[in-house]
Amino acid sequence: MSKKTNTEWKPIRKAVFPVAGLGTRFLPATKVMPKEMLPLVDRPLIQHAFEEAKAAGIEEFIFVTGRQKEMLEEHFDYQPELERTLEARGKYDMIERVRTSEIGESQLFLTRQARPLGLGHAIWCARKLVGDEPFAIMLPDDVILSEKPCLQQMIEQYNETGGNMVAVMDIPREDTPKYGILDVESDNGKMASIKGLVEKPQPEDAPSTLSIIGRYILQPEIFDHLSKFETGAGGEIQITDAMAKLIGSQPFNGLRYDGHRYDCGSRVGFIEANIAFSLQDPEIGHSVQDIIQKHAKEIQSKAA
């Protein structure tokens, strides 16, 4: 492929949300409720991801769902009965809150991942909805608290560099088996040029401690590699393996974003995220701080 100038890279208009997982770490809460509907303060995880994408200028939202995920679609639909009830009770501020979760006509698209064959397979399931355009991937489990939305930071950098991009963070070396890890060609402290990617390497084999988190910008050529259904770590079709094959033919960078990432795929990370986000809430932040201080004193008293 011939190299493109920055102005020749297409803009990012679409985002894919892989939400077909079972959420087994949160059973029995997720026995019926999709994991993505678990509340982070006053909004479900999936709405946090949607709002981040919308703030970054995304126009089309593609959900890759599985069985028993109808609640996700319902959450983003227009709810006239609820709005009429709130209006009759004079709760106009609640109406505005409800409307923040609505996705307009011709903006929400759904496709199914019938079998859990890995993240790469989930993204492949969205290929016809993405078409011949670059697109973002948002993993709702990864929630990022930041002044400027993480995806917005990435798109601003993409508009300068083009190509492919992942959000990255430094991790302890012993945690490399949990992540996709970068093999870095150059690094200016903000952007890292990538020469290779390794999925979940052992600490002694990891080329760095710079890991991918759940935000991606990819060119549509990724589907050429995903369509081969090659399996990698864990016997699954890994998005990292397919991304590695784009390196060399297209620019590929890792962005150290400004913000703090919370792993809401784990119970402890989910609890930590609720604490962090509630402390930032202007309505309840001070009360939450008082609660934390109260429990901290009780813990210290018991330890004495």
pLDDT in tens, 182-235: 999 998 989 999 999 888 899 999 999 999 999 999 999 999 999 888 777 677
Token pair 């803009």 in the structure block, residue: 11
Neighbours of 166 (CB within 10 A): 27
The confidence score (pLDDT) of residue 151 equals 97
Q: What are phi and psi of 141, to 5 degrees?
A: -60, -30
16: how many CB neighbours lie within 10 A of its CB?
27
The string of pLDDT tens digits covering residues 135-146 is 999 999 999 999
- 7 pLDDT band, cuts 50/70/90, is low
pLDDT score, position 304? 75
Segment 81-100 shows an average pLDDT of: 85
Kindly report the pTM of this predicted structure.
0.90
Q: Nearest 5 degrees, angle CA 9-CA 12-CA 13?
A: 135
Long-range pairs of 80-86 with CB within 8 A, sequence gap ≥ 24: none
pLDDT of residue 2: 44
CA atoms within 13 A on the CB side of 12: 32
Closest CA relative to residue 281, chosen from 39, 38, 26, 29: 39
Per-residue pLDDT reduced to its tens digit, 27-60 = 898 888 889 999 999 999 999 999 999 999 999 9
**How do 142-145 and 60-65 pair as beta strands?**
unpaired
202 token code pair: 């052992």
CATH topology of domain 6-265: Spore Coat Polysaccharide Biosynthesis Protein SpsA; Chain A (3.90.550)
Token pair 């993240």 in the structure block, residue: 119
Q: How far apart are CA 114 and CA 127, in angstroms?
A: 15
pLDDT at 256: 95
* DSSP assignment letter at 5: P
Query: CB within 8 A of 267, min separation 6: which ones?
Result: 25, 26
Chain Cα centroid distance, residue 184? 23
Return the H-helix or E-strand segment holding 226: helix 222-226
- Alpha-carbon distance 68 to 119, whole Å? 19
Predicted confidence (pLDDT) at residue 266 exceeds the cutoff of 60: yes
Percent of the chain with pLDDT over 90: 62
Task: Give, as one character, the DSSP assignment of residue 56.
Answer: T
Helix (H, G, I), strand (E, B) or coil at 249: coil
Task: In whole angstroms, give the CA distance from residue 239 to residue 232.
Answer: 9
Instruction: List b or e across 109-144, with b for residues whose CB sees 16 or more CB atoms inside 10 angstroms.
Output: bbbebeeebbbbbbbbbbbebbeeebbbbbbbbbbb
155-183 average pLDDT score? 93
**Neighbour tally for 76: CB within 10 Å:** 18
- Whether the CA torsion 108, 111, 115, 119 is positive or negative: it is negative
Helix (H) or strand (E) segment spanning residue 47: helix 45-55
